[in-house]
Amino acid sequence: MCDERQLARWARSAVSRRAFGGGALATGVAACTPMELSEEPAAADAGALTERMVSFAAPGGTMDGFFVHPADTASPLVLFWPDIAGLREAKRQMARRLAGEGYAVFVANPYYRDVAGQQFEDFADFAGNGGWDKARQWRSALDADAIQGDARAATAWLDTQDAVDTARGIGTQGYCMGGPFTVWSTAAVERMRAAASFHGGGLVRDGEKSPHRMLRGDAHYLIAIAQDDDAKDPAAKTAFSAAASEAGAAAEVEVYAADHGWCVPDSPAYDRAEAERAWSRLLATYARAL
């Protein structure tokens, strides 16, 4: 998972790339006006999709997030956990792409206990404007019990929406700190059948609430590991694979030839080729499990 020193390096890189229009930040994925919180649906730009900001009661207060789905049809649900920079346009774009594949996608605001909606325009904004110090306080409450309660509340509310096909399994995906959230969520919600972690941190840790000790035999796990994260803790992938085998769970655990953050378009570590490969494995996992 990203640390403070890594973020300091990324801050210089990301702000420079934004200023000079280079890399993925120049595509427009990471820069747009924040959406207003609203319960009113709006037509999405990308084809026959509908999107809106939603909010509902959750254990920590009023949970909010971005909900996008195919229009006029019920689709399998996906609970999307962002990385440390939270809900922003890069994540909304990723959700729209997945919705275009036939899924109803809810991008959670993981920090709803402290703040509502989008807090950072993009990763450059996060890295260059005190995001680490803010997020360190906000995420201090996000342990296994908190995330499991949030996952139950989110899926229960989303299941009341006509856009969600409640006869199908649920998927969940997460990035950076959101990686372990996917495993905790799957342990909490019976209908979840697939959990995908991309450059997720803390999947193997001490204690009974370690994600690798909470696997379900009837779920599919896609664990995509950054090469620099693997270099720091090469034993983690082996421990996770062994735990999955013991639980009887299907698990695809692989180290990708890219660094932490490679899947996210506004990250300085974004690697298009490896991101597309991870995307193809995500779709294959959902097709098989949901």
Tokens linked to 257? 């030839």
Other residues' Cβ atoms within 10 Å of the Cβ of residue 125: 22
Q: What percentage of the chain reaches a pLDDT higher than 70?
A: 84
What does the pLDDT average to over 215-226? 98
How many domains are contained in the chain? 1
Give the per-residue pLDDT at 19: 44
Answer with the residue of higher pLDDT: 83 or 32. Answer: 83
pLDDT tens, 238-274? Answer: 999 999 999 999 999 999 999 999 999 999 999 999 9
pTM (global) more than 0.85 = yes
Residue 5: predicted pLDDT: 57
Q: Quick check: 141 pLDDT over 70?
A: yes
Lowest mean pLDDT among 17-21, 110-114, 182-186, 194-198: 17-21
Is the pLDDT score of 39 beyond 80?
no
Report how far apart, in Å, the C-alpha atoms of 79 and of each of 6, 15, 69, 241 are. 27, 30, 12, 23
| H or E segment to which residue 38 belongs | none
pLDDT at 289 over 90: yes
Average pLDDT over residues 71-76: 96
pLDDT average, residue stretch 204-214: 97
What DSSP string runs through 199-245?
A: S-S-SS-SSTT-GGGS--TT-EEEEEEEHHHHHH-THHHHHHHHHHH
CATH of residue 228's domain is: 3.40.50.1820
Dist CA 95 CA 113 (whole Å): 22
The angle at the Cα of 113, spanning 187 to 89, to the nearest 5 degrees, equals 85
Quick check: 134 pLDDT over 60? Answer: yes
Is residue 136 pLDDT above 80, yes or no? yes
47: domain range?
Answer: 4-289
pLDDT higher than 50, residue 37: no
> CB–CB of 151/145 below 8 Å?
no
Please provide the average confidence, as pLDDT, over all residues in the chain: 89
Cα distance between residue 165 and residue 264, in whole Å: 28
Q: What is the structure's pLDDT at 40?
A: 40
For 6-31, write each residue's pLDDT tens digit: 555 555 455 544 543 344 433 333 32
| C-alpha to C-alpha distance for 245 and 20, rounded to whole angstroms | 48
Residue 96, pLDDT above cutoff 50: yes
| pLDDT of res. 284 | 98
* Angle in degrees, 0-180, between the axes of helices 4-20 and 131-138, rounded to the nearest 10: 130
CB atoms near residue 141 (< 10 Å): 14
